[in-house]
Amino acid sequence: MGFTGQCRCGQVQLHLQVQTLAPLYACHCLNCQRWSGSAFALHMLCPAQAIEVSGNTQTYTLAAEGHTSTQYACGTCFTRLFNETDAAPGMRVVRAGILHGADRLAPLAHIWVKRKQPWISLPEGVAQWPQSPTPEEFAAVISEQA
């Protein structure tokens, strides 16, 4: 299954090739609201080697809660593209709004819904957690989808 994506200016192109549909989830935490300048962030969790990036990127690395996270952005227009964290080695979390056709996919989970903006109604039956789920809880939802 393949996806392509790009930043706002088109300088960076992204190709994503995954064996099974990579899990898409929305994070409503305050940091994601600030990072995105929006109500929530849409993330796709992918194996790092499934992602091919062309173009110049700039990175921003931060340490928080005992983990180091590196954010990749277009070096020209600064669209956020994906990040890596040592909390999930070998994975990259793609900002799914940059993908072509992301509108065909619905998030399988919503996290940090205690920070969700009150005007957003979530569909019934979709997994949600007040904060972050444990890796086991999240994996259980992913395996239901597969």
Q: 76 to 115, contacts with Zn ion by CB under 5 A? A: 76-77
Torsion, CA 130, CA 133, CA 138, CA 139, rounded to 10? -160
Q: 27 to 66, contacts with Zn ion by CB under 5 A? A: 27, 29, 32
- Per CB under 5 A, the segment of 3-11, 60-68, 92-100, 102-110 that binds Zn ion is 3-11
Both tokens of 16, joined, read: 């994503």
Query: 10 or 101: whose CB is closer to Zn ion?
Result: 10
Query: 9 or 64: whose CB is closer to Zn ion?
Result: 9
| Closest approach of Zn ion to the CB of residue 19, in Å | 26
Q: Are 142 and 23 in contact (CB under 8 A)?
A: yes
Q: How many CA atoms lie within 13 A of 67 on its CB side?
A: 11
The binding site for Zn ion (CB under 5 A) comprises 7, 9, 11, 27, 29, 32, 74, 76-77
